[in-house]
Amino acid sequence: MEIAERLRLLPSVDEVALRLAGFGYPRRLLIAEIRRVLADAREQLRGGAADVAIDSQVIASLSALRSASLRRVINATGVILHTNLGRAPLAAMSVPEGYSNLEYDLARGRRGKRDAHCGALLECILGKPAITVNNNAAAVYLVLQELAAGAEVIVSRGQLIEIGDGFRIPDIMQRAGVQLKEVGTTNRTHVDDFRRAISDRTRLLLIVHPSNFRIEGFTAQPSREEIAALGREHGIPVYEDLGSGCLVDLIPYGIDEPLAQQSLGAGVNAVSFSGDKLLGGPQAGIIAGDAPLIQRIRRNPMFRALRLDKLILASLETTLRHVLFEEWDALPTLRMIRLKPEEIRARAEALLAALPGVPAQIVPGQSVIGGGSTPEQFLPTWHIAISVRNAAEWERRLRAAEPPVIARIADDRLLLDLRTVFPEEEDALLAVLRRMPTINSPAEAPPG
């Protein structure tokens, strides 16, 4: 049949709408989707496709619209702060339904500030007043714009970093209206480089923690204490962008990351960091420091544009309360970091025992923090390594499962790391693996 004839045989919008009227979709939505599917069908037929099932495509696309796009997935990659999977897995929380006291002071019966819900907790943890915005990039912009717009900010050349999605410190400084004054060299900067660069236009000394890379060898950077002392000497505030936002000492678990409390204790006047990295909470940017500076930053007109929503505040408040009361296991990120390799191996052995015939073995490996944090620092773990002929196809099938399982591939094997799989997810993971159609097929057995 000629293409023109097949195009003429396509049903009209009204015909399809009449057949699908009983499915209960709003007519406006139904008509719009039918028109879209018919337009696609015409393109497919012109491209040489066979007949197109119009009705079923319309139903499938409308069903997809009704289903939630944001879904829970099982993270079996061993990457704890997986940027593509929402970074820090959230702790269980309770969100007030209906109205809430978001900006209402119940004790005084008048308007309050949304800062109150997290501010007191942050001050208890950090020993300094703090405010919150929607992410750390916003925090960096706000601090720079308020404290140094139209003037100079001095920073070490070795700290002019780029983080994810092309976010670069020089670019954000330009957007904030400050003049970058870089000192030192890529690998070595000294406090005297800062001292010589100070002029009557200098308004801020900036320290940027290189949270996503590490320079080794012949290197040097002035200490926070040295820069803080220099700032006090000249009456210039010192601001540190910490990035990852570590509030808990993780050295006993093999992770060496500076604490925000240490920076403030060293005399740094203001710090900022992320809420959804090592803090283990939702996406947020936290700014803490000397009260006069925090008050200035809060009064900046951009603060309102960058403030947090009530749902994020509820999650962040829950996270901070767990940190304050040292309830580490209530925060999935900290619980996963603290897991011992032998615990992971025992879980892996139990899971594999429930999958007889699967071409897999348990092998040593490494988990990572991820999310642009702790470069070149790893956590020892044990992987379930599945040897299959086409690991890429298996990985695709796992992603398409219900629930989706995200794994990774190494050395032509599919790797599952239970460090990032919640214990309560293991039954669902087992069910997915058992449903894989080729799991026990001889064709998929390990070579040799």
Residues above pLDDT 90, as percent of the chain: 77
Q: Residue 212 — pLDDT band, cuts 50, 70, 90?
A: low
The pLDDT value recorded for residue 447 is 35
Asked if residue 261 has pLDDT above 70, the reply is yes
- More confident of the two residues 321 and 52: 321
Asked if residue 25 has pLDDT above 70, the reply is yes
How far CA 65 is from CA of 69, 228, 364, in Å, comes to 8, 54, 42
384 forms beta bridges with 362, 416
The pLDDT value recorded for residue 158 is 85
When pLDDT is averaged across residues 330-350 and rounded to a whole number, the result is: 97
When pLDDT is averaged across residues 349-372 and rounded to a whole number, the result is: 92
Residues above pLDDT 70, as percent of the chain: 95
When pLDDT is averaged across residues 27-38 and rounded to a whole number, the result is: 96
The pLDDT value recorded for residue 94 is 87
The pLDDT value recorded for residue 376 is 73
The pLDDT value recorded for residue 371 is 75
Asked if residue 154 has pLDDT above 70, the reply is yes
When pLDDT is averaged across residues 305-323 and rounded to a whole number, the result is: 96
Asked if residue 201 has pLDDT above 60, the reply is yes
Q: What pTM was estimated for this model as a whole? A: 0.89
Name residues whose C-beta falls within 8 Å of residue 358's C-beta, 6 or more positions apart in sequence. Answer: 352, 386, 433, 439, 440
When pLDDT is averaged across residues 231-247 and rounded to a whole number, the result is: 95
The pLDDT value recorded for residue 211 is 62
- Which of 49-53, 279-283, 306-310 has the weakest average pLDDT? 49-53
When pLDDT is averaged across residues 319-328 and rounded to a whole number, the result is: 97
When pLDDT is averaged across residues 353-369 and rounded to a whole number, the result is: 93
Upstream peptide bond of 170 is cis (omega within 30 degrees of 0): no
Asked if residue 186 has pLDDT above 90, the reply is no
The pLDDT value recorded for residue 7 is 85
What CATH architecture is 104-330? 3-Layer(aba) Sandwich (3.40)
Query: 307 and 50 in contact (C-beta within 8 Å)?
Result: no
Q: Residue 195 — pLDDT band, cuts 50, 70, 90?
A: very high
Mean residue pLDDT across the chain: 91
The pLDDT value recorded for residue 296 is 97
The pLDDT value recorded for residue 442 is 41
The pLDDT value recorded for residue 443 is 40
Which of 299, 248, 319, 273 lies closest to 135, judged by CA?
Answer: 273
Alpha-carbon distance 11 to 439, whole Å? Answer: 43
> Domain 74-85+334-444 carries which CATH code?
3.90.1150.110
